[in-house]
Structure 1
Amino acid sequence: MRKQEEKEANGTSKDTSAGTGTSSDGKTDINKEKRKKTEELEKKKVPLYKLFTFADAFDVGMMVVGAVAAMANGMAQPMMTFIFGDVINAFGSGTDQNVLHRVTKVILNFVYLGIASGVASLLSVTCWTITGERQAARIRELYLKSILRQDMAFFDKEMTTGQVIERMSGDTLLVQDSIGEKIGKGLQLTTTFFGGFIVAFVRGWLLALVMLSCIPLIALAGAVVSRIVSTLSTRAQTKYSEAGNVAVQTIGSIRTVASFNGEIRAVTIYDQLIHKAYKSYVREGTATGLGMGLVFMILFCTYGLAVWYGSKLILNKGYNGGIIINIQMAVIIGAMSLGQASSCITAFAEGQAAAYRIFEAIKRKPDIDVLDTAGVVLKDMKGNVELKDVYFSYPARPDHIIFNGFSLNVSSGTTVAIVGESGSGKSTVINLIERFYDPQSGQVLIDGVDLKTMKLGWIRSKIGLVSQEPLLFATTIKENITYGKEDATVEEIKRAIELANAAKFVDKLPNGIDTMVGERGIQLSGGQKQRIAIARAIIKNPKILLLDEATSALDLESERVVQEALNRIMLERTTIIVAHRLSTVRNADTIAVIHQGKLVEQGSHLELIENIDGPYSQLINLQAMHQDKYALPPPDGGSEREIISSRGNSSRHLFNAFAMTHAQDCPDITVTKETDGIDQDPNSVKKKVPMRRLFALNKPEALILLFGSITATVHGIIFPVFSIIISSSIKVYFVIKINTLNSLIKV
């Protein structure tokens, strides 16, 4: 019961878990729904041109220059075959006296072409790299902005923390790769492909037409590989995203994991997801390798056909060796560029799939939009709160009704405590007032104005929230407090610290308000973190204060100090308290008892205990049976009613039962000094990891690596061998006599 109640204090109790999927059945349903959406995402991708959706005018200019330069660079290799053919003719048809002059004259064209190609390549890579970085940065910014503006339903149903991190770190890199230098490379190779065949058809269309027969086969192989790679890449990225979510949850809750010896279980789950991603990438690599192998096989077979048919053209059509070599090299270079484009095609396919996932999140407009500037702004806010005939269920569990005609009225400046058993809907009231969710029916009113019609950012600035377990960011105390008010002055920060009863321990810290609190405030005690959270909540001077189990996780001494701080800040404010410990709300102006999403009893503590069989009295008796500490014996033998009556029921005196007016100040736990950075010797040299250590990590894959190294070596030898074949064909065209040539090509 205690554990469930603590979850509820953070909005994740049974009533909230119905929406967020933290119950076992709900979690299963939500996981199935998320898996279904993931499978749908694996099949979807954006058109290639939509990758440039977020390019501005400067990016367009850079892309135009980069595209022109890439195409110019792509034409360099087909043009080189012209020059190479002339060199072959110069060698083959020249005499000993003039061959050097003829070759030297042609060779200068190589120099001019090299200079032009170098300039074009520089412009292409530079322009596409710059525009790719710019667009990727803009996409990351827009993605994060879009994620932060989403409502809670989005995170309940569609996205996890790990998936957000994976999108930011993994998918954006895939998109950047597909809109950056890879585009320039793709344009260059495409231009080389078309340029090669244009040159070939201009020089000799018969041989070019014969060699063109290889293109459909290459295109088919590329299309199949691209489709397979796109699907497998998306699947692998999804598994990495799930694995990242496991890592985030485990590391973020490392103390809880360690206390339950859950490290091995977490590693096992992580390893299973990584293994699934690994298998997808292995299949992707296999598909890519098979596709490239098919492309090269087709190319070399086509070249064999070209050598044979080129020899026949020399005999029958009057072609010379230079033209034949020119055509063969132009087609081979063009076709090989299509094969080399497989890496670009893979990058485009992965980028298109990743872009779909990112762009869908960017363009998603939430139902509750904190960035929406439209809406009502009250000139003189009083702080009256009313929930009127509210029907509500969480988006992730629409079949589980939380409120069924619930109504509650909180007058300005009063304190209302909401109590009830776990799962009754207490924290849901907080969620609706903060407008984390909207009711399906009914209204949430602030000063008589429907919360849906109000400017969300403005109304949230008027509401202060203190939760059971406050989340502090890994920065200084000062920056944590100014999170509540960005333009707060140092005087305002110190005033908030004083009101939060935190000045004494903050002054003792090594760097005062500039002290780093560590990850999630790990350097501070529970009471200290809670007081910093209170200071953060009140620095914006909220009209409405929401206390969601603000002291239930603290020990008695820390609770006393925190409650004193709460007593100070509750003055002149509308305060709504969600409480589990009934002893902490006895002096509230009104106590509202909720049971199964309905308001079953309401009144002051004295009024409610008059009904000994009422829900409130039953809750008191239940807590008294389970935990004696909840039953506070009145001092000096006075009756509880006398003690309560003497204190009154004003919110100004709330929590006096725990105030311990005559008690001494509890000792504060000071943090150890934390440096802002790691001390480093500026003269120290960064150590390098020995290569043998890296090799040792690959021992399990030694056989695969050996086999891969051997096959890679064989693949590397192919082109030197190919050069020997080319030289042999040239020799056939120029050195061997005609009758010998006839015998070589005779079929």
Structure 2
Amino acid sequence: MEMENGLNVGTTTTHEGAELKNNVEKAENNSPNAIGGRQDFEKSTGEDQNSKTVSFLKLFSFADSTDVFLMIAGTMGAIGNGLGLPLASVLFGEMVNSLGRPTGIVPLASKVCLKIVYLGVGVGAGGFIQVACWMITGERQAARIRGLYLKAILRQDVAFFDKETNTGEVVGRMSGDTVLIQDAIGEKVGKFLQLISTFIGGFAVAFSKGWLLTLVLLASFPLLVASGGLLSIVIAKTASRGQAAYANAANVVEQTISSIRTVASFTGEKQAVMNYKRFLITDYKAGVHEGMVSGLGFAAVKLVAFGSFALAVWFGSKLILNKGYNGGDVLIVITAVLTGSAALGETSPCINAFVAGKAAAYKMFKTIERKPKIDTYSTKGKILDDIHGDIELRDVFFSYPARPNEQIFSGFSLYINRGTTSALVGQSGSGKSTVISLIERFYDPQSGEVLIDGINLKDFHLKWIRQKIGLVSQEPVLFASSIKDNIAYGKDGTTFEEIRVATELANAAKFTDKLPQGLDTEVGGHGMQLSGGQKQRIAIARAILKDPRILLLDEATSALDAESERIVQEALDRIMVNRTTVIVAHRLSTVRNADMIAVIQQGKIVEKGSHSELINNPNGAYSQLIHLKEVNKESEQASDDQNRSEITAESSRHDSSLRYSQRISHLRSISQGSSVNSCSRRSFSAFGLPIEGLIPDDTWTEPEEMFPKVSIRSLALLNKPEIPILLLGAMAAILNGTLFPLFGMLISKVIKSFYAPPHKLRKDTNFWSIIFVILGVVSFLAIPARAYLFSVAGCKLIQRVRLMCFEKLVHMEVGWFDKPEHSCGSIGARLSADAARVRALVGDSLGQILDVIASAVAGLVIAFVGSWQLAIIILALIPLISINAYAQLKFTKGFSADAKMMYVEASQVANDAVGSIRTVASFCAEEKVMNLYRSKCEGPRKAGIKLGLITGIGFGTSFGFLFLAYATSFYAGAQLVQARKATSSDVFQVFFALTFAAMGVSQTSSMGPDTGKAKNAVSSIFAIIHQQSKIDASDESGITLDNFKGGIEFRHVCFKYPCRPNVQIFHDLSLTIHPNKLPWLEKVGVGNPQSSHCCKGFMILILVILNLMELKFRSFK
């Protein structure tokens, strides 16, 4: 009965034009999102993880009393579940003996069947407790570790992020390493305990029933354990096959699509396709190799199992003849040993999970236990009623922890009076921003003091003093939430009315009131949906809400154009009143009104005073900075005047140009290109264009892309060159499908032989032992052949489909990539995942169908030849047996859901917070971030617990169904034997033929592809293949000129971006650019500088595509 369990228990911005044209594949190498970058990170972090680990028991350091109870209960359930199989072997032997008796068959068989039912109830209950408890406690502990890790990260000082970690590593650990830890402390522990219990129980039963036969079978023990372990590893990794090998090809896709404008402008399509094709060949070889290795793994298990069974049958017959054993005892020993051996072999994935979890936990636990020098959560320090705002840096010596040998300050001193505005000016790297960091206490000086109101900054309660200091930086940091929520970071418990007042004071209400959702508008990741000026005004509103006594402006307007700077400066002037304000600026025009200006050079104050005082010293450092600025400005103005005289521009409808210049929403189309995320924004920076995304004034939703249905015939035609290979694979699949039912029939023959007269027993068992060896050899040839041949056909199809899609993609018009569904991430996923699933509907499906048909047909034929009555009864019970086979295979793969996907929103919160750690620290927003993170984790955590309960019920119930089916089958068989309508051999022939056929069908089906996903993938892929480009660079039609001079003319051009048809970009535009001239484009638009970016960006793009000349533009008031 459990013999099948014994045999199958687990069943680019830096490239110049000419270089880029010849080296397109290297474009955008520095992308933080590039796959290569992730691989380098994984490689760098993997070394540390592999060399240092925590102890296994330490993985459970964060378990609470509930978790301890769940683990104890889960352990008991796992032990009970694991002992079920060895006990079932004993009952199976009793059933063989009862059916082999000449009389009294039904009474004896009935007692055994009742025991099987009782055992099924016990095993089912144990399975439920095991899976549910370990999955739930794993989810609970992993969620707790995630939260503690993020809390510890937010607690660290800024120096920690300079030296020891980065945003990518933190997010990678929270989304990746916690999955490994959860795997090591969750259901894998229960599975390991169950398998160890099965191993110990199996050999205990075997030695008690026949120690001599057990010792002989131990000769095959190492091979069986090794092959079983290999099979478990292969099954566990089936879902991710081939993806690692495709990484380089995926990198080419990401680089090409994200910089599609650059690729198109330098006709790099052919080069990109060649690079992609080269990596696809590597991917094809890896896929075929993987299929072959997988097939050999399965074949090795079958060969060793069949060989071990042959040895057991041959030696068991000797013991029956010479040592007084009976057939039931021999079968109990065989099934118990094989079951125990296979169980031990299946522990390897669990051990691997434990090792990976211990390595992943090392750095996370180390971070959780780390005590920072500047502790955000410290409760120590002075809390006053308020501060006045006097600031002093006294004899400060300081160097950044990441660069200890580079001294920034050596005896630096500065005093700033309360309520005054002080400005720090100087060249880049002089130490201006370092003063801001020291006042915020992001760092402590190596010696000297930073004082506020005469009190050392170290003596204050850290959160309290930071709440008295407001910071507005050059690059304002916004979180991926609404405008209202971003402003609310400035103050705990703020009201909507306070937020509204802050937006008005910050000049932000002017644009937020025009948005469809107003303050509830989402700003996108890192505020990408807002312009630089808009983001800065939101940051100012946040600082206003904080109502600080000290205001720090770190180049708050340096990244803005003139118009945005004017609006932002107005807002800053309002909030600087009656506050101590420290301004760091490159633009000297922004500091003229400061009460005190300090000029810093190489970490020292070389001059100090008001603007009027400093300007009177012509040889002073401040005057030299002013003079240098004016010289540069005059040089640029002269160059602009010369360029402008070379351009003739005409416009027939000037009023229209003013109207369209007021539209700003289309900027995203140019600056972002193919995606709303950052992957495609880099391509435009090669032209020197501003990279800003603006919230549209007019909202227009692109209809969701619908993929057409594709017939299997259309897909099969793509696999036509591999038809001979598919036919050979089909033959191997049919042969492979018959192995399970034939094995079942042979077991029944062996059982009959064990009860034959001595001379016949000796002859028959020798014969069947040889047949088992032959069956093992056949399986060792058929299984790898099937796997290899279908891998060749399938990988060829994937390679062909991906190449066709990529060739089509690189020749699509640029406007096609403006749609969000055509972003580099979306396209990359379709080429990676969807293309890989395509093979499921042709080669893989054919092999699966033939396997199932062969198993079913062979099983039915053998069963009905034995006893048609019992065959019908068992056929009715097949669904119960199949459910358990499916559950067992899922158990081998793992029940836990993909935590990376479940926690994607929570990971985004962590990503935003860690990437903006200075902002979080400055606004004391650690608790807000943690509350938001916990709220995002609550849903996935509850879903994980619910999944544990449901999975436990399903897993336990499947075992109950299995044992119920066995008991029913044997009871019906006993009735037929007693009624002389069948022999005991017929009963076992029918039972094993059908149950083994069901096992084969169920396991083959569950290991097969998801046809629903495969059909959707085919539709997705063919939508690309059948897409027609409106501007196809591969089209050979059109005129060519012998003498191309380079004159350009826009003649009455009207234009809208395809993804924003409601926004008019050009309306009757006319523009002439003469050959060999350097164009100068003047800003147009009233009160809206972004409008000119769009117009200039569009024209520059056209000029660069033509590759005529170097372009240069200037904006002036």
2:752 paired residue number: 731
2:905 paired residue number: none
1:612 paired residue number: 618
1:19-52 CA distance string (max 9 Å, x none): xxx9xxxxxxxx9999655422233333333332
Query: Which 10-residue stretch deviates more, 72-81 or 238-247?
Result: 238-247
1:206-235 CA distance string (max 9 Å, x none): 2122223444556678999999999xx9xx
Contact 2:231 2:301 in 1 (8 A): no
Residue type at the aligned position of 1:65: A
Q: Name which of 50, 70, 78 aligns with 1:42.
A: 50
Q: Aligned partners of 1:418, 1:242: CA distance in 2, in Å?
A: 48
1:698-724 CA distance string (max 9 Å, x none): 989999x97999988877765544434
- Structure-to-structure mapping, 1:50-69, within 5 angstroms: 50-69=58-77
Q: Aligned partners of 2:72, 2:264: CA distance in 1, in Å?
A: 59
| Shift of residue 398, structure 1, vs aligned partner | 2.2
| Shift of residue 737, structure 1, vs aligned partner | 3.0
Query: CA, structure 1 residues 293+364, in 2 after alignment: closer, same or farther (shift >3 Å)?
Result: farther
- Structure-to-structure mapping, 1:318-337, within 5 angstroms: 318-337=324-343
1:56-96 CA distance string (max 9 Å, x none): 1112112221221121111111111111101111222x11x
Q: Confirm or deny that 1:601 pairs with 2:607.
A: yes
Q: Name which of 187, 199, 205 aligns with 1:193.
A: 199
Q: Name which of 202, 213, 232 aligns with 1:207.
A: 213
| Shift of residue 506, structure 1, vs aligned partner | 3.4
Q: Aligned partners of 1:366, 1:245: CA distance in 2, in Å?
A: 38
Query: CA, structure 1 residues 33+299, in 2 after alignment: closer, same or farther (shift >3 Å)?
Result: closer
Q: Aligned partners of 1:242, 1:544: CA distance in 2, in Å?
A: 51
1:654 paired residue number: none
Structure 2 residues not aligned, in runs of 5+ = 1-12, 14-29, 31-38, 638-661, 666-694, 770-1117
1:500 paired residue number: 506
Query: Which 10-residue stretch deviates more, 137-146 or 569-578?
Result: 137-146
Query: CA, structure 1 residues 695+488, in 2 after alignment: closer, same or farther (shift >3 Å)?
Result: farther
| Shift of residue 133, structure 1, vs aligned partner | 1.8
Q: Name which of 149, 154, 162 aligns with 1:148.
A: 154
Q: Aligned partners of 2:382, 2:735: CA distance in 1, in Å?
A: 73
Secondary structure, counterpart of 1:413 in structure 2: coil
Contact 1:391 1:402 in 2 (8 A): yes
2:78 paired residue number: 70
| TM-score normalised by length of structure 2 | 0.53
Query: CA, structure 1 residues 305+34, in 2 after alignment: closer, same or farther (shift >3 Å)?
Result: closer
1:402 paired residue number: 408
1:537 paired residue number: 543
Contact 1:54 1:139 in 2 (8 A): yes
Identity, % of aligned positions: 53
* Number of corresponding residues: 676
Secondary structure, counterpart of 1:110 in structure 2: helix
| Shift of residue 194, structure 1, vs aligned partner | 0.8
| Shift of residue 694, structure 1, vs aligned partner | 13
Q: Name which of 551, 561, 571 aligns with 2:577.
A: 571
Q: Confirm or deny that 1:590 pairs with 2:614.
A: no
Q: Name which of 113, 117, 120 aligns with 1:111.
A: 117
Contact 1:136 1:175 in 2 (8 A): yes
| TM-score normalised by length of structure 1 | 0.77
1:672 paired residue number: 696
Contact 2:225 2:341 in 1 (8 A): no
Contact 2:233 2:349 in 1 (8 A): no
1:120 paired residue number: 126
Secondary structure, counterpart of 1:627 in structure 2: helix
Q: CA RMSD in A?
A: 5.0
Residue type at the aligned position of 2:62: F
Q: Confirm or deny that 1:82 pairs with 2:90.
A: yes
Secondary structure, counterpart of 2:383 in structure 1: coil
1:741 paired residue number: 762
Secondary structure, counterpart of 1:546 in structure 2: strand
Q: Relative contact order, CA 8 A, sep 6+: which one is greater?
A: 2
Q: Confirm or deny that 1:130 pairs with 2:154.
A: no
Secondary structure, counterpart of 1:133 in structure 2: helix
1:446 paired residue number: 452
1:560-617 CA distance string (max 9 Å, x none): 2221211111111111111101121122111111112222222222222232222211
Secondary structure, counterpart of 1:416 in structure 2: strand
Q: Name which of 466, 476, 486 aligns with 2:472.
A: 466
2:318 paired residue number: 312
Query: CA, structure 1 residues 295+376, in 2 after alignment: closer, same or farther (shift >3 Å)?
Result: farther
Residue type at the aligned position of 1:379: D
Q: Confirm or deny that 1:176 pairs with 2:179.
A: no
Q: Aligned partners of 2:631, 2:389: CA distance in 1, in Å?
A: 38
Contact 2:512 2:518 in 1 (8 A): yes
Q: Aligned partners of 1:596, 1:242: CA distance in 2, in Å?
A: 45
Contact 1:312 1:745 in 2 (8 A): no
Secondary structure, counterpart of 2:375 in structure 1: coil
Contact 1:34 1:157 in 2 (8 A): no
Contact 2:424 2:582 in 1 (8 A): yes
Residue type at the aligned position of 1:455: H
2:994 paired residue number: none
Q: Aligned partners of 2:243, 2:209: CA distance in 1, in Å?
A: 47
Contact 1:624 1:630 in 2 (8 A): no
Query: Which 10-residue stretch deviates more, 484-493 or 571-580?
Result: 484-493
Structure 1 residues not aligned, in runs of 5+ = 4-21, 23-30, 632-666
Contact 2:93 2:332 in 1 (8 A): yes
- Structure-to-structure mapping, 1:510-525, within 5 angstroms: 510-525=516-531
| Shift of residue 399, structure 1, vs aligned partner | 2.4
Contact 2:245 2:286 in 1 (8 A): no
1:397-426 CA distance string (max 9 Å, x none): 222222222222222212111111112121
1:455 paired residue number: 461
Residue type at the aligned position of 2:85: Q
1:352-403 CA distance string (max 9 Å, x none): 3333343333333333221222223233312222222222222222222222
| Shift of residue 679, structure 1, vs aligned partner | 11
Q: Name which of 362, 373, 383 aligns with 2:368.
A: 362
Contact 2:419 2:580 in 1 (8 A): yes
Q: Aligned partners of 1:745, 1:480: CA distance in 2, in Å?
A: 80
Q: Aligned partners of 1:166, 1:152: CA distance in 2, in Å?
A: 19
Residue type at the aligned position of 1:737: P
| Shift of residue 440, structure 1, vs aligned partner | 2.6
Secondary structure, counterpart of 1:402 in structure 2: strand
1:536-573 CA distance string (max 9 Å, x none): 01211111111011112222222222212111111111
Q: Confirm or deny that 1:383 pairs with 2:389.
A: yes
Secondary structure, counterpart of 1:494 in structure 2: helix
Residue type at the aligned position of 1:599: I
Contact 2:138 2:182 in 1 (8 A): yes
Q: Aligned partners of 1:134, 1:691: CA distance in 2, in Å?
A: 46
Q: Aligned partners of 2:188, 2:706: CA distance in 1, in Å?
A: 33
Residue type at the aligned position of 2:462: L
Q: Aligned partners of 2:219, 2:483: CA distance in 1, in Å?
A: 71
1:132-171 CA distance string (max 9 Å, x none): 2222222222222222223323333333333333222222
Contact 2:507 2:571 in 1 (8 A): yes
Query: CA, structure 1 residues 282+430, in 2 after alignment: closer, same or farther (shift >3 Å)?
Result: farther
Contact 1:310 1:324 in 2 (8 A): yes
Secondary structure, counterpart of 1:204 in structure 2: helix
Q: Aligned partners of 1:555, 1:167: CA distance in 2, in Å?
A: 39
